[in-house]
Amino acid sequence: MKRITLYATTLVMITCWTLPACKKSAVPPQGSVDTNQYHPPVLDTTGYTLVWSDEFNYTGLPDSTKWGYDVGNGSSGWGNNELEYYTADSLSNARVENGYLILEARKQVMDGFNYTSARLVTREKADWEYGKIVVRAKLPSGRGTWPAIWMLGAEQPLVWPDDGEIDIMEEVGFQPNIIHGSVYTKSFNWSLNTPQTNAVTMINTQDSFHLYSMVWTPDQINLYADTALILTFYNQHKTFAEWPFDNKCYLLLNIAIGGNWGGQQGVDDNIFPQDMVIDYVRVYQKQP
């Protein structure tokens, strides 16, 4: 989600940096076929055990034993000058129905902000060190939307970017079907001009479900959209500044509105409401 960082409008996100810590695709591979009936294969989980999941087979608010909320607009719009106000326990912004989690961004004034949305977190409820995380989701559309599936270090209080951030999936509405994946640490971040980030081109991310996933081991982090590899971030086995990921992280799901990146071309107020629809979230780990 690129916390506490600014995006230069001249940055071409689909081009990636060439630091030795990260091996990336020179040409973004194509994503899945264009059909609502397409069900891409779940990544191979041989040797892994399902340790946590939400299949959303219930109705109402998200399961409070699994999900909490970040509330409000944070500091400076969560560090990104975002325009939304994140609510808690509001069926208008986060609800489960018909087997899906629906995060909904709305044109709605709250506490001085013109939009409401939801940011679900597993912080202090579930966190993990290494494993595979798979999220099957359909993304919102329209200029100004900024959905994300991401992770932050579970250590509290969080020190960013020192404690690490893993962006499994981000998309901005003015660049539909381009899926970004990123990793940030003290040594690799936007302020140092050393971000580890890449993107792949998908098909129909707004109307079809796709898999967004991560495979995290002690040696590397791989990010995928369906079966397309977005990014590999390697452990250089140096210091915490390069690799803070031998510690637990928690998961976040949200739709931001506007902000330094998502709002680069403004916000189209005619698009609302906009939903990110999630079929399931599954976490696998290798057992001792």
Going by their DSSP bridges, the two strands 165-170 and 178-184 should be labelled as: antiparallel
The CATH classification of domain 49-265+274-286, taken from the options 2.60.120.200, 3.30.920.30, 3.40.50.1970, 3.40.50.720: 2.60.120.200
> Is-catalytic flag, 124?
no
**What would the pLDDT profile of 143-188 be if each residue is shown by its tens digit?**
999 999 999 999 999 999 999 999 999 999 999 999 999 999 999 9
Kindly name the residue from 82, 84, 104, 165 that is annotated as catalytic: 165
Task: Give, in degrees to the nearest 5, the angle at Cα 214 between 212 and 219.
Answer: 160
> Is-catalytic flag, 165?
yes
**What would the pLDDT profile of 45-93 be if each residue is shown by its tens digit?**
888 999 999 999 999 999 999 999 999 999 999 999 999 999 999 999 9
Residue spans of the domains in the chain: they are 49-265+274-286
CB proximity list for 223: less than 8 A, separation 6 or greater = 166, 167, 168, 169, 181, 183, 213, 214, 229, 230, 231, 232
CA dist., res. 277 & res. 288, Å (int): 34
Does residue 135 surpass a pLDDT of 90?
yes
Kindly name the residue from 82, 84, 170, 171 that is annotated as catalytic: 170
Taking the model in full, what pTM does it have? 0.87
